[in-house]
Homo-oligomer: A and B are copies of this chain.
Amino acid sequence: MLKVKIITPGKTKEHWLKDALDEYCKRLSGAIAIEFVYPRDDAHLIALVDKERLCLALDPFGDVVTSEGFCKILYKAFEEGGSRVSFVIGGPEGLPDVVRKRCNMLRLSSMTFTHQMTRLILLEQIYRAAEIYRGSSYHK
């Protein structure tokens, strides 16, 4: 079973966002297990990222990718990371520089989203990547 850990400060507060994340976790459950980890502060976030073998950061300074490109990056990371990949999303203040240096950085959009909404967009893109990988028609 492939595993994705999403490290992101602050629990999800809004009920619709919880429902949406649950929905995508359920849809992914046959292919990829998702775990959310909520660091207490930047020091905790840095310590958590340090433990990870392979960590992808979502950041405004990251590389722009298409959904197909994201699929390739994700599945290459699964290969290199022993079926495990971690993502890190900064809080409202963004990611600490030390994390930016340690991770490969991706950008979801040139627009700014709330870090809470970024969780949903990431999860939908992971689901889309899984569907692209298995060759379904979801992504078309």
Contact = CB atoms under 8 A, between A and B. Distances in A.
A111 B124 CA distance: 11
A114 B109 contact: no
A125 B117 CA distance: 11
Indicate how many identical chains form the complex: 2
Interface in A86-140: 92, 108-114, 117, 120-121, 124-125, 128, 139-140
Interface residues of A, number: 28
B64 A110 contact: yes
A67 B17 contact: no
A136 to B, nearest CB: 13
A66 B110 contact: yes
A66 B17 contact: no
A109 B111 contact: yes
Nearest to A128: B112
A139 B125 contact: no
